[in-house]
Structure 1
Amino acid sequence: MDSFSVKKNKILKEANKITRLCDAEVSIILLTSDNFYLYTSPTSSMKKIIDQYQSTVGVDLWSSHYAKMQDELGRLKDENSALKREIMQRRGEEVDGMDIKELSNLEEEMLYAAKIIQTRKNLVMHCRIDTYRKKVRNLEDIQRHIRLNLEEEFERRHGRVMDRDGHDSAAAFAGLIHATDPVPVQQLAHLRIDEGEGSCVTTEAMEVEDSD
């Protein structure tokens, strides 16, 4: 055990002994470069002892600190009032007392802010449009892929290819729909429709290659 710990324990032990044997109120503060230690009589508190000391000696240990706190509080109130006034002026309120220069500066700030907002709005709109366009392309790819599978299935079962313009008879096409098995999910696994309305798309969707 180092010498500081030995001396600290000895001091605290003596303080506790004085408290018990002499019916005294003791308060000790030990400060080091990286720590501090407090001792106060079990029947008292640090604040009570300090208040009693101020009353006995006739000094006020808190007056200067309280004055600094009051100054800081006043500064924060003034800053808060200025911010509130600025917010109200940006809403078109509290402008009666402003001169022409202040009004011009406020107008420039509002125009600059409106320009930034408009730029951001346009970006969001373009991102949303790109997202919808990608969804449409993906749906068209899925439709084309399903149609190719139906044509191949029709050719395999009926020995001819369905007309590209869809001019086959409605009965034949309806029979194909009911006769063919569902398109395997694995064939459409590489087709993806992005979820989330308004998500920003920065790359073009990969085009699905036509089946040979």
Structure 2
Amino acid sequence: MVRGKTQMRRIENKTSRQVTFSKRRNGLLKKAFELSVLCDAEIATIIFSPSGKLYEFSSSSMSNILERYQTKTKDAGCSVETTEIDLQNLKGNSLDMAKRIELLEVSKRRLSGEVLDMSSVEELQSTQNQLERSLSRIRARKNQLFKEQIEQLKQEEKKLSDENERLQRKKGMREPLQFVTEHPEAPRGQGLNVETELSIGCPQLHRLNIIPHEDGLSIH
């Protein structure tokens, strides 16, 4: 016989209601016991009958379980309250950040000259002063960079000058000797009249003068 589905509503018949309570109470306590044994869970079950009679089951000390329950619910309540406070703070910070972003966006557009129609004289003067301060800082930074580049170029120029001077000194020390063996304008086949002194023996006793001629050498 197929068991029909029980409707979830109060049983009007008092006798039937008492029988159903007894059956389901025993089944609930049995399931709690099985769950505590099979899963090593700490379980406490409290039941009051319609007449006010107490039925309970606990896998360990009921007072310890209730105390643990109260501590957990208290911590959970504090945690929920803290979370709500944090959320409120985050919302406030988000609104402040959104306002700051909006103001920065307006200031940016004003500096770029996009939204000047609705600006007052004071706002325009403030924007002008801000631009002048920014331009002054930009010029100062640019001049500093120029000075650094000039100083770097001077250092490189000095290094090149020192290297060039060192190479010139090195080249002067290694300059080869030049010898002239023949006069470039002398015609071929003709010699030059060169007096050559040749001494034979002791220079103080004999001195021979050899003069080259076309017919030969003449010795005097």
Task: Report the TM-score, using the length of structure 2 for normalisation.
Answer: 0.44
* Structure with the bigger percentage of helix: 1
Task: Report the TM-score, using the length of structure 1 for normalisation.
Answer: 0.45
* Structure with the bigger percentage of strand: 2
When Rg is computed on C-alpha atoms for both structures, the one with the higher figure is 2
